């Protein structure tokens, strides 16, 4: 970003329409360096700029990159139909900024979900050409057997898929626990692969994307954080 008027800065950060942002500024709700700033026409450098709006500190970011620990019963859609949308777990500014999920997790699947308002980032992360491994922990109805693991590693045929889909790695983590790594992002893929291999998925959790793990972020269910460049590099 570069030098912008204060009302445009607030608008770019998702605080509302330009008219509303001007009113916030004129009402003294925007504080910079400890003092209310009431001139919305003032221009300032956005690099490293920190605003306090309604008493909350806000670091100005040209684009946002977010990791969310998605709970169950939230939909990865801007227009959810049966459950609340994941955007309700973020500050309202994120909706104004047109933040979107990067790919989708089923409403009953938990774990790491990336979100951003950076179109090229979303496209790159969603592209099947990237071959980025995603780690899932699956709870199965039937015990995990060596034969099940062999099938998932060899590949199983799914309806409407031209070729069998195989896991990159597949490891038993308990009698009914399976860790599976996929690089595709097909619809209900883990659940459908387990069903095709003769088992059933009772619960599913995504614990990592690339080398970025949910544990390293320290997020409880429903919590989120901004990702810095070093963390985003782990997604490659």
Specify the pLDDT at position 162: 87
Specify the pLDDT at position 78: 75
Mean pLDDT within 47-63 = 93
Mean pLDDT within 117-129 = 89
Mean pLDDT within 121-132 = 85
State how beta strands 201-209 and 110-116 pair.
parallel
Question: What are 61-119's pLDDT values in tens digits?
Answer: 999 999 999 999 999 987 777 889 999 999 999 999 999 999 889 999 999 999 999 99
Q: What element of type H or E holds 151?
A: helix 146-154
Q: What is the DSSP string of 99-150?
A: -EESS---TT-EEEEEEES-HHHHHHHH-GGG---EEEEEEESSPP-HHHHH
d(CA 156, CA 146): 15
Specify the pLDDT at position 1: 60
Q: Is 163 helix (H, G, I), strand (E, B) or coil?
A: coil
> Could you give the C-alpha distances from 211 to 17, 107, 136, 215, in angstroms and in order?
38, 24, 13, 11
Question: What are 148-199's pLDDT values in tens digits?
Answer: 999 999 999 998 888 899 999 999 999 999 999 999 878 889 999 999 999 9
d(CA 166, CA 140): 18
Contacts of 234 (CB under 8 A, 6+ apart): 210, 211, 212
d(CA 88, CA 117): 16
Kindly state the DSSP code that residue 210 receives in the 8-state scheme: T
Helix axes 146-154, 189-196, angle to 10 degrees: 120
Closest CA to 106 of 6, 161, 188, 210: 188
Residue tagged active-site, from 7, 27, 47, 106: 106
Q: What element of type H or E holds 178?
A: strand 177-182
Query: Going from the N-terminus, what domains does the chain have, and what CATH number goes with each?
Result: 3-59 (3.10.290.10), 65-127+217-233 (3.30.70.580), 133-209 (3.30.70.1560)
Tokens at 63, concatenated: 């684009």
Q: Give strand pairing partners of 134.
A: 182, 209
Question: What are 189-236's pLDDT values in tens digits?
Answer: 999 999 999 999 999 999 999 999 999 999 999 999 999 999 999 997
Active site residue 106: yes
Q: Which value, to the nearest 10 degrees, does the dihedral of the CA atoms of residues 81, 84, 87, 90 take?
A: 170
Q: Give strand pairing partners of 138.
A: 178, 204
Judged by phi (left if over 0) then psi (alpha if -120 to 50, else beta), residue 78 lies in alpha
Q: What element of type H or E holds 94?
A: helix 92-96
pLDDT at 146 > cutoff 90: yes
Q: Is 93 helix (H, G, I), strand (E, B) or coil?
A: helix
Specify the pLDDT at position 46: 93
Residues of the chain with pLDDT > 70, as a percent, come to 100
Mean pLDDT within 123-134 = 85
């Amino acid at each position: 970003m570069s030098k912008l008027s204060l009302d445009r800065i607030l608008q770019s950060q998702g605080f509302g329409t330009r008219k509303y942002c001007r009113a916030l500024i004129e009402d003294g709700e925007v504080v910079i360096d400890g003092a209310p700033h009431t001139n919305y026409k003032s221009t300032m450098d956005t690099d490293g700029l920190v605003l306090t709006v309604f008493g909350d500190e806000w670091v100005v970011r040209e684009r946002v990159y977010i990791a969310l620990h998605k709970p169950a019963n939230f939909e990865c859609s801007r227009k959810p139909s049966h459950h609340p949308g994941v955007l309700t777990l973020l500050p309202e500014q994120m909706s104004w900024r047109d933040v979107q999920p990067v790919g989708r997790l089923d409403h009953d699947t938990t774990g790491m979900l990336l979100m951003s308002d950076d179109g090229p980032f979303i496209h790159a992360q969603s592209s099947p050409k990237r071959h980025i491994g995603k780690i899932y922990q699956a709870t199965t109805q039937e015990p995990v057997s060596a034969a099940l693991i062999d099938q998932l590693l060899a590949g199983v045929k799914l309806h409407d898929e031209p070729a069998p889909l195989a896991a990159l790695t597949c490891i038993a983590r308990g009698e009914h626990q399976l860790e599976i790594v996929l690089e595709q992002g097909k619809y209900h893929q883990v659940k459908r692969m387990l069903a095709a291999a003769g088992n059933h998925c009772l619960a599913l959790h995504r614990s990592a994307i690339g080398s970025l793990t949910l544990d390293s972020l320290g997020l409880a269910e429903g919590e989120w954080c901004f990702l810095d460049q070093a963390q985003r590099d782990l997604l490659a």
